[in-house]
Amino acid sequence: MKRRTAIKHISAGLTAGLALPSWLSACVPDENAPEINYNGVVGIIGAGAAGLIAADILIAKGVQVKVFEANNRIGGRICSLYRTSAPTESLIFFPGNYPYSDFPVELGPDRINGSDSKWAGLLAVRGVPMVNFRSQSTNRYIVDNAAKTEADAMLNAGFASAKAFYDSFTTFSGSSTLSVEQAALAAGVPASQLPMVNSLLGNPFGSAASNIGARALAEGLALVEHDGTELTLRNNPMQDALLNVYSRVVPSIQFNTVVQAVNYSGDAIEIVHSGGTETVNKLIVTVPVSILKDGDIAFSPALPTAKLNALSRLGMDAAMRIVLEFKRNFYGEDVAAIFGATEAPIILNPAVGRSSLNRTLSITVFGAKAEAYSSMNPDDVVLNILAEMDAWYGGDATENIRRSTIPEENNKLLYTIKDWKKDPYAKGGVSYHLPGGLLADREVLAAPMGGKLFFAGEATDFTGEAGTVSGALKSGERAAFEVIDAIING
């Protein structure tokens, strides 16, 4: 069988296997039966979305895998808050006053872009209930210090120009050295609207608009062809949903195993980790770019210059999720998101379509603002955000924020904060292009080395979905088939 035909054949078999709910797959021929004759072991560093899908594909083909995971859980940046969660330096919440939201609190991703995306597809075939919240909600925009509907905000010429810049952004083809902010100013967006630009086109992509390269971001977004829907999981924590999809990988995972060095100079690859030294025959690296950039894993020989150059043009900044609960909903039951604030660049209402209480807001902050928040007293972070919201809602935010009812706790502010910068195995939020970078940098980072070393993880997605769960899954799938290709064709 020719190389391309072989890979296509394997790919089709696997997709058919994945597409069946587990209760049904027992009744059909086992399309995941081993097809590859390989005595070696494939190592995978990281049990996030990218590592799990790669492992699952290889296991389905009868290849032996060993997944080295630093943490004591699967999921990486897919991370849900549980009653069993313990507060840590990077996770601040008050177990005695556990959030009372009537849906799972997510500390990482909670939105799925596109019902036709990779992640939505995997969940749909397993019958995981999802909510198309966009069909039942609208946005608010902070214009003239008030939260306005889009129609009202459009009466402001400055907002209208920021919105026009956003709507046509995928066609941006200016210099690759311009930041999103510089590109907006060059397009005539007034400086007063830069918080809006940051909120729409900076923060959602991992940093401030002043720090993200406009050209590379636009190049990537132009490739995405989803149906425009946005989904949340109706009832299930996202970490549970991921486990449901990839449960068969779990026996192959070595938890609490921090990889410190990879020596790929010989025939086999030597992995030095917190529990000892092991050898594998091929290795997929899926760790975040922050880990690679900080040299937390020593590669011997060092990674090639082309990869290091590509890495130097990718950033990964601090990221913080702040979940606030209120005694009543004063911002609107059908408000999906509030854009344009400076203290809280994106405020999402994760309750739409899945909560009868609808009193929880989920704020995501990336970049310099998250960096500053990371070194502040968390109470002050929350007070900053409340003060900004009070200006739009006549003091309702401070008046209605949930506080402890335990008498000796003195009316303590209650909130949940995940500070991703302080998570030692993430060290930040998502990868983004620095000014001067190009989409091709991700392809260079993703390129396999010598049929032995392979790269996956959201940062290596070059189909425009970097920084998302679907992008991570697609990268892991790509890397698994690169490994299969190397096994079959040498």
Ligand X SMILES: Cc1cc2nc3c(=O)[nH]c(=O)nc-3n(C[C@H](O)[C@H](O)[C@H](O)COP(=O)(O)OP(=O)(O)OC[C@H]3O[C@@H](n4cnc5c(N)ncnc54)[C@H](O)[C@@H]3O)c2cc1C
By CB under 6 A, name the binding residues for ligand X. 45-51, 68-71, 76-78, 108-111, 258-259, 286-288, 291, 296-297, 319, 321, 364, 420, 425-426, 429-430, 457-458, 467-472
* Residue 240 CB, nearest approach to ligand X (Å): 15
Nearest-angstrom CA–CA distance, 292 and 320: 21
* Residue 254 CB, nearest approach to ligand X (Å): 9
Place of tokens 């109706």: 234
What is the token pair recorded at 126?
A: 């397993």
The 10 Å Cβ neighbour count of residue 135 is: 10
Residue with smaller CB distance to ligand X, 258 or 488: 258
- The number of residues making up the chain comes to 490
Contact 331, 338 (CB under 8 A): yes
Residue with smaller CB distance to ligand X, 71 or 374: 71
Nearest-angstrom CA–CA distance, 345 and 144: 16
* Residue 182 CB, nearest approach to ligand X (Å): 25
Place of tokens 């292009």: 433
* Residue 50 CB, nearest approach to ligand X (Å): 3
Place of tokens 């210090």: 145
Report how far Cα 183 is from the mean position of its chain's Cα atoms. Answer: 25
DSSP states of 387-440: HHHHHHHTTHHHHHB-B---GGGTT-B-EEEEEGGG-TTT-SS-EEEPTT--TH
Contact 487, 65 (CB under 8 A): no
The 10 Å Cβ neighbour count of residue 84 is: 6
Nearest-angstrom CA–CA distance, 20 and 48: 22
Residue with smaller CB distance to ligand X, 110 or 441: 110
Three-state secondary structure call for residue 292? helix
Residue with smaller CB distance to ligand X, 338 or 426: 426
* Residue 274 CB, nearest approach to ligand X (Å): 8
* Residue 402 CB, nearest approach to ligand X (Å): 21
* Residue 176 CB, nearest approach to ligand X (Å): 23
Residue with smaller CB distance to ligand X, 280 or 291: 291
Residue with smaller CB distance to ligand X, 108 or 202: 108
* Residue 3 CB, nearest approach to ligand X (Å): 27
φ, ψ for residue 316, nearest 5 deg: -150, 110
Residue with smaller CB distance to ligand X, 48 or 437: 48
Residue with smaller CB distance to ligand X, 70 or 385: 70
CA distances in angstroms from 21 to 245, 277, 357, 484, listed in the order given: 10, 38, 32, 25
